[in-house]
Structure 1
Amino acid sequence: MRNPVSRRDFALGIAASSVAVGMVGAVHAADNAPAADSPAPVPPPPPKPVSKTICFVGGYTKHGPPGGAGNGQGISVFEMDRVTGALIPVTTFTDIASPSFITLSADNRYLYALSEISDYDKNGNGSLTAFEVNQQTGSLRKINTVSSGGSVPAHLSVHHSGRYLLVANYVGGSVAVVPIRGDGSLGAPTDVVHNSGPRQPDRAVDNPQGNFAVSDHSGPHPHMIRSDPSGRFVLVDDAGLDRIYVWTLNLGTGKLEPAKTPYYDMEPGCAPRHFEFNHTGRILYNLCEQNSKIVVSTFDPQNGTLNNIQTVSTVTPHFRGSTLAAEILISASGKYVYASNRLGDSLAVFAIGEDGTLTLQDEVWMHADYGRAMMFDPSGTFLFCANQRSDAVTAFKVDKTTGQLAFTNHFTPVGSPTTFAFMDTKA
């Protein structure tokens, strides 16, 4: 016979079970609770700043040289995608007229831009503007503007010493030396030298067949000025007089002094435009605009003398028609030279031999019209071309082993582009 359970006993049993379950739950809760002296959770650290590659692009604006107004807005600032080479717009500095050539100081703290104009002052000069560069963003702050010392400047560079800006005034027929102050600002020119010489023909006799393009030989037209890698000499390509001039620069006075051989005559009508030194500073590659040739010379860094060893065309033997060579670059490896051809719209790729001579190994379509300036990004992975008449920048991937160029299919819209500068920001 079963023992009967009263309602009272049943109720007491349920109560006891509830207490036991509650105690077990309390034990588990105690096990999961943090200790009274344990540290508070630490938030994850913020992401570290990452260095970026910044590209500056300049060109012709509505306020330009006589007959040379363009579609540009000023100096456009882009961030470069390091994987694809695409240029991503950041901002545009618009308070400047026709910055058709720009360059950075060696430490990237300052950017210098010329204005290719003839009405900066009552003397018909162009102008030069100094900018401070934000090292994290690449944004520009205008410091000051001074006269270029001549009409319609076409090129500028920072002297190897970092103390002077060197300027080629194309229409003015002069070169100028402009002091760079400690804060990056520019002073008045310390020297202005006017070139002179006999009238040269508008075309060279060794032109590509069918070339109707001419270069202005009405007078002196300095087109590029730069010091050699040692900083001992200053060289100038004069496209009007078909000469390359060689000077020394007195760092104390800021005056140019003719070298032992003050200039070298080149092919009449060839219009020497831009040049590059090889990595030893002993080979000079001089690009001639009108006949689309590169003249290869040895250079003596002790006395500044030049001796020609080769002349090579920037277009292939099968080319026929009008063309004007524009820009020349040398790869970071020192193994390849690149040249741009306007009108013909091609990029020439040369292999450099052990003796410094060149062999044309490829000719690449620019994919746009009237390519002028070219420049590598700081890593040398991409080559960019400023196509003035197409209002676009095109990008090519560089095979660093073979020197070959592969079009990336990237077009960046920029009004009348003519010049580049690149820098890596500080992380």
Structure 2
Amino acid sequence: MTARSLLSRRRFGLGAFGAGALGTLSITRTAFGAPTLDSGTGENSGLGPLPAKGPRILCYVGGYTKHAPPGGAGNGQGIATYELNLADGSLVPRSVFTDIASPSFITLSPDHRFLYALSEIDDYNAGHDGSVTAFSIDPATGALRKINTVSSGGSVPAHLSVHKNGRFVLVANYVGGSIAVLPIKPDGSLGEATDVYKATGPKMPERAADNPPGNFAVSDHSGSHMHMVHSDPSGNFVLADDAGLDRVYVWKLSDDGKLVPAKTPFITAEPGSAPRHFAFSPDGRILYNLGEQDSRVVVSDFDPQTGEIKPRQSVSTVTEHFRGSTLAAEILVGPKGDKLYVSNRLGDSLAVFHIAADGSLTLIEEIWMHADYGRALMFEPTGRYLFCTNQRSDSITSFKVDPATGKLSFTWKFTPIGSPTTMAFVTLKA
């Protein structure tokens, strides 16, 4: 598969400006009416005064902008900030940070003082890398201030996370097929990579044998495509999903930021299944891994002392009645640890699973996401609402969570935003 066809599958676009040619100082009004301050210092404002009572919860949302590799421009403007209305699950627009290209994944430091955003691009430098930008978060207003930007250690990054120790940002580069370790300095800024692991392996099939009936969707298997990297809850290990080579890697992370292979360096998933994202049980002993191509969750026992992964169950994220094309996207464990949630693109559904005492899964409902191509799923801090970013519908939808059953009911609240793919919530200090 050519680089252009690969990027087209990921729905990229190419803007008219390079990585270094970003905006000059201007105060504008966004497409949805929120005031925006865009400057070379990277500051934004417009959040307004604090409410008299109750917590103030902000939601940062990123996605695809016009600046991206060839394959189809996104409609986003940068990192948008919204305020959550807990009464009805709606998001109120506040501001947009526009001095960043295609921030398709964002994450927070453990103390929520800093936000890190990748740019899913391939022209940050002469090596065709993507980039990662560090921001500070004003604890009173939530305003973002850009600190610095560094190479992501590979082309077209797709995911990043902060290691449990808070000292490193881990980056998965999709087209580059690599995992990079970026040190975090005391001021929250990022240093150049301390380690970059580049994967190689045999070509895998584009479709899995356990596909849903009638699934014509494919995941690219022309080479390594790292799709997620994250530490386990104990912080003893770092895991990564390779959607191109159908592998799950396990490393130790040394004090100086080097990836050291575990006793079993990787396990091989179902050929063609394209392991995409994973989640852990609260105690860190059960690993739930989502196959993008076959839309299945593999349940495995995980040993937090050795890093060993032992698969023992595989369940579909669509009902037995489903026929057609689907690609699973996101997976997360609910706030109480007894439910698991998955978003299905193309089929446009949200799946809810009950988690048994031994960690095994039972699908209890699959509902319409009320939009197209849902990507990220995230609970707001109180756990009352679940939000879904819908890339092709240019919207975010919210669902009220039944506290007893974990089932979802649509709030009928749509948030218009161009090509959203990622979000993060912060509760401001009073």
Q: Structure 2 length as normaliser, TM-score? A: 0.88
Of residues 194, 212, 217 in structure 1, which corresponds to 2:198?
194
Question: Given that residues 201 and 269 in structure 1 are in contact (C-alpha distance below 8 angstroms), is that contact kept between their aligned partners in structure 2?
Answer: yes
Of residues 270, 273, 287 in structure 2, which corresponds to 1:270?
273
Of residues 145, 164, 169 in structure 2, which corresponds to 1:165?
169
Look up the match of 1:354.
357
Matched, 1:367 2:370: yes
The structure with the largest helix share of the pair is 1
The farther-off stretch of 147-156 and 136-145 is 136-145
> 1:179, 1:400 → 2: CA distance?
39
Question: Given that residues 336 and 349 in structure 1 are in contact (C-alpha distance below 8 angstroms), is that contact kept between their aligned partners in structure 2?
Answer: yes
Look up the match of 1:397.
400
Matched, 1:121 2:112: no
Q: Secondary structure at the match of 2:201?
A: coil
Matched, 1:85 2:89: yes
Look up the match of 1:381.
384
Look up the match of 1:75.
79
Look up the match of 1:43.
none
Look up the match of 1:39.
none
> 1:400, 1:166 → 2: CA distance?
33
The alpha carbon displacement at 1:66 in A equals 2.5
Look up the match of 1:291.
294
> 1:296, 1:156 → 2: CA distance?
23
Q: Secondary structure at the match of 1:229?
A: coil
Query: How do residues 305-384 of structure 1 correspond to structure 2 at under 5 angstroms?
Result: 305-384=308-387
Look up the match of 1:204.
208
> 2:399, 2:262 → 1: CA distance?
40
The alpha carbon displacement at 1:281 in A equals 0.2
Look up the match of 2:305.
302
Look up the match of 1:228.
232
Look up the match of 1:214.
218
Look up the match of 1:426.
429
Matched, 1:133 2:137: yes
> 2:402, 2:141 → 1: CA distance?
29
> 1:377, 1:49 → 2: CA distance?
18
> 1:409, 1:87 → 2: CA distance?
12
Query: How do residues 22-41 of structure 1 correspond to structure 2 at under 5 angstroms?
Result: none
The alpha carbon displacement at 1:139 in A equals 1.0
> 2:158, 2:73 → 1: CA distance?
14
Look up the match of 1:41.
none
The alpha carbon displacement at 1:384 in A equals 0.3
> 2:69, 2:304 → 1: CA distance?
36
Question: Given that residues 173 and 194 in structure 1 are in contact (C-alpha distance below 8 angstroms), is that contact kept between their aligned partners in structure 2?
Answer: yes
Bigger CA radius of gyration: 1
Question: Given that residues 227 and 234 in structure 1 are in contact (C-alpha distance below 8 angstroms), is that contact kept between their aligned partners in structure 2?
Answer: yes
The alpha carbon displacement at 1:69 in A equals 2.1
Q: Secondary structure at the match of 1:359?
A: strand
Q: What amino acid maps onto 2:167 in structure 1?
A: R
Look up the match of 1:61.
65
> 2:376, 2:291 → 1: CA distance?
14
Of residues 247, 257, 261 in structure 1, which corresponds to 2:260?
257
Deviation per residue, 1:314-334 (Å, 9 max, x gap): 000000000000000111100
Q: What amino acid maps onto 1:115 in structure 2?
A: S
Look up the match of 1:7.
none
Q: What amino acid maps onto 1:426 in structure 2?
A: K
Look up the match of 1:100.
104
Question: Given that residues 225 and 234 in structure 1 are in contact (C-alpha distance below 8 angstroms), is that contact kept between their aligned partners in structure 2?
Answer: yes
Question: Given that residues 66 and 117 in structure 1 are in contact (C-alpha distance below 8 angstroms), is that contact kept between their aligned partners in structure 2?
Answer: no
Look up the match of 2:37.
none
> 2:70, 2:246 → 1: CA distance?
23
Q: What amino acid maps onto 1:198 in structure 2?
A: P
Question: Given that residues 60 and 68 in structure 1 are in contact (C-alpha distance below 8 angstroms), is that contact kept between their aligned partners in structure 2?
Answer: no
> 1:113, 1:65 → 2: CA distance?
17
> 1:374, 1:47 → 2: CA distance?
27
Q: Secondary structure at the match of 2:278?
A: strand
The alpha carbon displacement at 1:395 in A equals 0.4
Deviation per residue, 1:239-260 (Å, 9 max, x gap): 0000000000002x21000000
Look up the match of 2:36.
none
Deviation per residue, 1:288-310 (Å, 9 max, x gap): 00000000000000000010110
> 1:426, 1:47 → 2: CA distance?
11
Q: What amino acid maps onto 1:191 in structure 2?
A: D
> 2:284, 2:148 → 1: CA distance?
33
Question: Given that residues 338 and 347 in structure 1 are in contact (C-alpha distance below 8 angstroms), is that contact kept between their aligned partners in structure 2?
Answer: yes
Of residues 169, 182, 186 in structure 2, which corresponds to 1:178?
182
Question: Given that residues 272 and 289 in structure 1 are in contact (C-alpha distance below 8 angstroms), is that contact kept between their aligned partners in structure 2?
Answer: yes
Question: Given that residues 76 and 93 in structure 1 are in contact (C-alpha distance below 8 angstroms), is that contact kept between their aligned partners in structure 2?
Answer: yes
Question: Given that residues 350 and 360 in structure 1 are in contact (C-alpha distance below 8 angstroms), is that contact kept between their aligned partners in structure 2?
Answer: yes
Q: Secondary structure at the match of 1:319?
A: coil
Structure 2 unaligned blocks of 5 or more: 1-49
The alpha carbon displacement at 1:262 in A equals 0.1
The alpha carbon displacement at 1:401 in A equals 1.1
The farther-off stretch of 66-75 and 178-187 is 66-75
Aligned residues: 381
Q: What amino acid maps onto 2:266 in structure 1?
A: Y
Look up the match of 2:27.
none
The alpha carbon displacement at 1:50 in A equals 4.8
The alpha carbon displacement at 1:51 in A equals 3.0
The alpha carbon displacement at 1:175 in A equals 0.3
> 1:260, 1:226 → 2: CA distance?
18
Q: Structure 1 length as normaliser, TM-score? A: 0.88
Q: What amino acid maps onto 2:231 in structure 1?
A: S
> 1:343, 1:144 → 2: CA distance?
37
Question: Given that residues 292 and 314 in structure 1 are in contact (C-alpha distance below 8 angstroms), is that contact kept between their aligned partners in structure 2?
Answer: yes
Question: Given that residues 61 and 73 in structure 1 are in contact (C-alpha distance below 8 angstroms), is that contact kept between their aligned partners in structure 2?
Answer: yes
> 1:313, 1:152 → 2: CA distance?
29
Q: What amino acid maps onto 1:224 in structure 2?
A: M
Q: Secondary structure at the match of 1:400?
A: coil
> 2:273, 2:73 → 1: CA distance?
26
Structure 1 unaligned blocks of 5 or more: 1-45
